Structure 1
Amino acid sequence: MEVMGSAKSGQIRTLYREHRRWLTLFVQRRLGCPHSSADLVHDTYLRILASGVVLDSGDSRRYLAHIAKGLVVDRYRRRRIESAYLEYLRQQPVELFPSPENRVQMIETLVEVSALLQRLPEKVRLALLLRQLEGLSYRDIAKRLQVSISSVEKYVARALQGCMMVALGERP
């Protein structure tokens, strides 16, 4: 079974041949590491393959840059989350350290929860964070967000439902 038509496949090969060097330099200027840059260039083309979208040659570099910039942001966000988690672990007793597999799994989950939180509407995200991180009551959150207590209950429920889906490995 052919997943992608030969015409699209040829367009992607052409896109790769014509722009790989340019994209590698573009990414390397942002990351500063040739190895990470090569990985990110590879990931950029994988995204294009997965989407099946190939633009006209006039828009190719803009399209590649858009995807690559998003991947760079994702990489920095992941590094920031990973660094914060590892710092948290350094403060814990050694006997509480998770296995390397569990650390990787926890970082993946934290990255997914972070992405979920970024996609939530601002009031939904704030309601959850005020409740979970600051321990505010629904009444106090309602005052701060200038909404009803009922709205806060719905906001928190919606955010927790999304987090639960991430924890279960489902896509919210």
Structure 2
Amino acid sequence: MAQSSDSLAGLAGLYSEHHGWLKRWLRGKLQCAEQAADLAQDTFVRLLAAPRAPATPLQTPRAYLTTVAQRLLIDHYRRLSLEHAWLEVLAQQPELLVQSPEERLLILETLQRLDAMLAGLPCAVRSAFLMAHIDELPYAEIAARLDVSERTVKRYLVQAFEQCILLIL
């Protein structure tokens, strides 16, 4: 949705008044000036991309910016954790199985997209999917653990597969 000129002006004012503060706040969290600058910029991009900007000026703009930035920090740390785990797996592979840098990047990007997809699923759906495909549990066992019927487990898995297909497209 296109931003109105009033909301763009409000966002520009918010940026000019609080960007430096937000960058310093993020630097304290990240201990890296470059990452802090990137996440501060991403915070304002997220606000710009939001379907609706606040109609009235924010009462507590720093609290609002902090909330948006904290969500981006969580995503940042989740990506770092996933990347670290993947690099550990790569380090344990025999030399003949080591992928090229391009293959590594593609796999890491796919893992990050899969992680985001799983994080977006309802908890029960995610649990059923992981129990079926990671733990390789039968539907009856999953149903017992989630305290639902086997039919519900099947519906959960269909929902998770639909999200997997959307991930591919």
TM-score by length of 1: 0.87
Q: Is the 8 A contact 2:43 2:72 kept in 1?
A: yes
| Residue 127 of structure 1: how far off its partner (Å) | 1.0
Matches within 5 A, 1:1-150: 4-51=3-50, 53-54=53-54, 56-150=57-151
Deviates more, 1:66-75 or 1:43-52: 43-52
Deviates more, 1:10-19 or 1:52-61: 52-61
1:125-146 CA-to-partner distances (Å, cap 9, x unmatched) read 1111111111111111112222
Q: Which runs of 5+ in 1 are unaligned?
A: none
Supply the distance in 1 between the matched residues of 2:42 and 2:32 (Cα, whole angstroms): 15
1:40-79 CA-to-partner distances (Å, cap 9, x unmatched) read 1111111112225255142321221111001100000000
Supply the distance in 1 between the matched residues of 2:61 and 2:103 (Cα, whole angstroms): 40
Secondary structure in structure 2 of the residue aligned to 1:136: coil
Supply the distance in 2 between the matched residues of 1:146 and 1:79 (Cα, whole angstroms): 34
AA at the equivalent of 1:84: A
Give the paired residue count.
166
Secondary structure in structure 1 of the residue aligned to 2:60: helix
Q: Is the 8 A contact 2:10 2:57 kept in 1?
A: no
Supply the distance in 2 between the matched residues of 1:143 and 1:7 (Cα, whole angstroms): 54
Supply the distance in 2 between the matched residues of 1:104 and 1:120 (Cα, whole angstroms): 25
CA RMSD of aligned residues (A): 1.8
Supply the distance in 2 between the matched residues of 1:5 and 1:155 (Cα, whole angstroms): 40
Q: Is the 8 A contact 2:30 2:36 kept in 1?
A: yes
Q: Is the 8 A contact 2:3 2:53 kept in 1?
A: no
Q: Which runs of 4+ in 1 moved over 4 A?
A: none
| Residue 4 of structure 1: how far off its partner (Å) | 4.1
1:7-36 CA-to-partner distances (Å, cap 9, x unmatched) read 333222211111012111221121111111
Q: Which runs of 5+ in 2 are unaligned?
A: none
Supply the distance in 2 between the matched residues of 1:42 and 1:163 (Cα, whole angstroms): 30
